[in-house]
Chain A
Amino acid sequence: MSNAFTMRDPTGEAAPVQRERVKPPQSLDGLTIGLLDIGKTRSDEFLDSVDALLTERGHTVKRYAKPTNAKPAPVDVLQSLATECDLVVEALAD
């Protein structure tokens, strides 16, 4: 054992996992677009407009909502987004 001064690591010692970003699609044709309302005031107004614009162009839109913006999204919301949508618009408004 060396005589060096040692300390213990106070951090979570977790190494971030590097994940490849999904490439943006060339076209929205045939894709399902999820709109996630995070619960901030008037998020819904903004997403209603996005919904109308996308629907008008013939895209498939599904709506999701976090119960409150004060807490992380519940697992079932995240799982629904991941399994039912090809891409997601997450709206922050106030």
Chain B
Amino acid sequence: MTAPTDGLIVVVKRDCPTCTLIEPVLRQIAGSVEACAVYTQDDPGFPAGIDGVIDDTALEHSFRRNIEIVPTLIRLRDGKEVERRIGWHRGEWQELTGLKSLGVDLPDQRPGCGSKSTDPGMPEKLQAKYGDMLAARLVEVSPLEDPMEVCFERGWSDGLPVTPPTDERIIRMLSGTNRDPKEVVGLIPPNLIECTVEKVAINAVMAGCKPEYMPVVLAAVETALQPDFSMHGLLCTTYFSGPVVIVNGPITTRIGMNSGLNALGQGNRANLTIGRTLQLIIRNVGGGLPGEIDRSALGNPGKLSFCFAEDESDPEWEPLSVWRGFEPGTSTVTLFHGDGVQPFSDNASRTPEELCRSFATSLNVVGHSKIVQGPNAILVLTPEHYAIFRDAGWDRRRILQGLHEATTRPGKDLVKGAHGLAEGIDPSRADEMVPKFWPDHGLLVVRAGGDAGLFSAIISGWIGGRFHDDVRPVTMEIKT
């Protein structure tokens, strides 16, 4: 029995009660229709009484015919499928087969069962074995080698173990996006190499992502590639910074990101692996290697991964994404050029004015206490510090205004040589009041953290102020 060019195909499995119910029907079709093939998914002896049932226990035919339900009845014409029925429906089967007496003793209809080719984990196994979804070069690992060690030896790791990117894992990762694996996401610096969705998925596998993180990963990569973000410059800089990914919107809860206790720390898979994937892509696809084109004098641990979600639990709070121009409820990524986390502890301030002045003492030392309009910063506001602002009726805009005012200082204290420090601003500005941060995007405020402790955090940023019009944080919507 082989699949006819013009005729009928039926796909069944013994484990399906509807398939066993219609066993006499299958014999009737096989006996009446010459051009007919019956495929069995689990038992080559089923259905009984039919010669030449095609053994599809390997599920190749089911995969190629995209069978989702058994029984499935298909009519072919010129080798192409022209009609399909799933489950048992006497009238439909009689019409499709042209056999008016088909199954007259059986119930009118019965739903089918899931095809074995759709069992959990099976679609990616079959795609890996029989499909042609993937285009990246295959790398064969000798049985004597450990795949994880091979990844290290080939330079594919950021220094920590990576998950070997097997076809099944990559295909499963690609199920997290509806974008074509062959679609080019962009040119990855520094080597400006085309990066496909497939390459993103491969690196996401290696970083440890789940498929549902893919939309965030793709958005983070695309954001990093915006000219305003200048990923190339951030990579090459001798300064400490790397990309910091802040995620907003409903996707953060859907994929289980952490915006609470230890939000900037370890322990949350989504936070850690999304940030790590971006850096692996820069390394593996773009060729951006530390000590080579990555000229950072010291770097920072966040260059492995630095990604967290904003706490949007307070409906009064305007999320970062909304402040940056997106509709409420939109999921976004914001990329910031950032480095270390500087703790801020203040248990005494009780008014927003006091707290702003207190924050200013720590914000002013970002980069250097006498460098201004240079390093950007993020203030990560924890719930207890935020409560002081909220209880006084201060929203995001008022807080920012207060912080900018509190970080504006007399130029005479900041000029070169003042207070015995050579570093500083040009002496011609001695009579000005000088703001620490550029007003537009020099200082971001993000809410995160646990609800115990009057602690907040400052994430200092790239000394990019001199070219603050050329390079800036960028926010983009997370799509699919």
Contacts and interface: CB of A to CB of B under 8 A. Distances in A.
Contacts of B470: 67-68, 70-71
A41 B466 contact: yes
B223 interface: no
Q: Which 5 A-B pairs have the closest CB atoms?
A: A12-B193, A70-B233, A9-B137, A8-B136, A68-B467
A39 B466 CA distance: 10
A72 to B, nearest CB: 5
Contact of B195 (A12, A69, A71): A12
A78 B301 CA distance: 35
A10 B206 contact: yes
B164 A7 contact: yes
Contact of A8 (B170, B230, B464): B170
A7 B152 CA distance: 13
A4 B144 CA distance: 10
Interface string B441-471: 0000000000000000000000010110011
Interface in A31-65: 39, 41
B27 to A, nearest CB: 36
Contacts of A68: 233, 467, 470-471
Interface residues of B, number: 44
A14 B193 CA distance: 7
A70 B191 CA distance: 16
Contact of B191 (A4, A6, A14, A67): A14
B284 A11 contact: yes
B287 A6 contact: no
A10 B280 contact: yes
Nearest to B199: A10
Contacts of B206: 10
A6 B199 contact: no
A13 interface: yes
Contacts of B140: 2, 4-6
B436 interface: no
Contacts of B138: 6-9
Interface of B: 134, 136-143, 147, 150-151, 156, 164-167, 170, 188-189, 191, 193-195, 198-199, 202-203, 206, 227, 230, 232-233, 237, 280, 284-287, 464, 466-467, 470-471
22 contacts: A2-B140, A6-B138, A6-B139, A6-B166, A8-B134, A8-B166, A10-B156, A11-B156, A12-B191, A12-B193, A12-B194, A12-B199, A12-B285, A12-B287, A13-B137, A14-B191, A68-B233, A68-B470, A69-B233, A70-B467, A72-B232, A72-B233
- Most B CB within 10 A of own CB, among A4, A14, A70, A72: A70
A67 B141 CA distance: 47
Contacts of A11: 156, 284-285, 287
Contacts of B230: 70-71
B233 to A, nearest CB: 4
Contacts of A2: 140
Nearest to A4: B140
Contacts of A72: 189, 232-233
B176 to A, nearest CB: 16
A7 B147 contact: yes
- Most B CB within 10 A of own CB, among A8, A9, A14: A8
A70 B143 CA distance: 46
Contacts of B227: 71
Given A41-B466, A70-B233, A7 B193 contact: no
Interface residues of A, number: 20
Given A68-B471, A70-B464, A12 B147 contact: no
Contacts of B195: 12
Given A5-B143, A14-B191, A71 B137 contact: no
Given A10-B280, A10-B284, A5 B191 contact: no
Nearest to B163: A7
Contacts of A12: 188, 191, 193-195, 199, 284-287
B185 to A, nearest CB: 12
Given A12-B195, A12-B287, A71-B230, A7 B139 contact: yes
Nearest to B151: A7
A7 B138 CA distance: 6
B307 to A, nearest CB: 19
Interface in A9-27: 9-14
Contacts of B165: 7-8, 10
B436 to A, nearest CB: 20
- Most B CB within 10 A of own CB, among A2, A10, A72: A10
A59 B140 CA distance: 57
Given A12-B191, A41-B466, A70-B471, A4 B141 contact: yes
Contacts of A7: 138-139, 141, 147, 150-151, 164-166
A9 B136 contact: yes
B136 A5 contact: no
Nearest to B128: A6
Contacts of B203: 10
Contacts of A41: 466
Given A9-B139, A71-B227, 18 more contacts: A5-B140, A5-B147, A5-B164, A5-B166, A6-B139, A7-B147, A9-B138, A10-B280, A10-B285, A12-B188, A12-B191, A12-B195, A14-B191, A68-B467, A69-B467, A70-B230, A71-B232, A71-B471
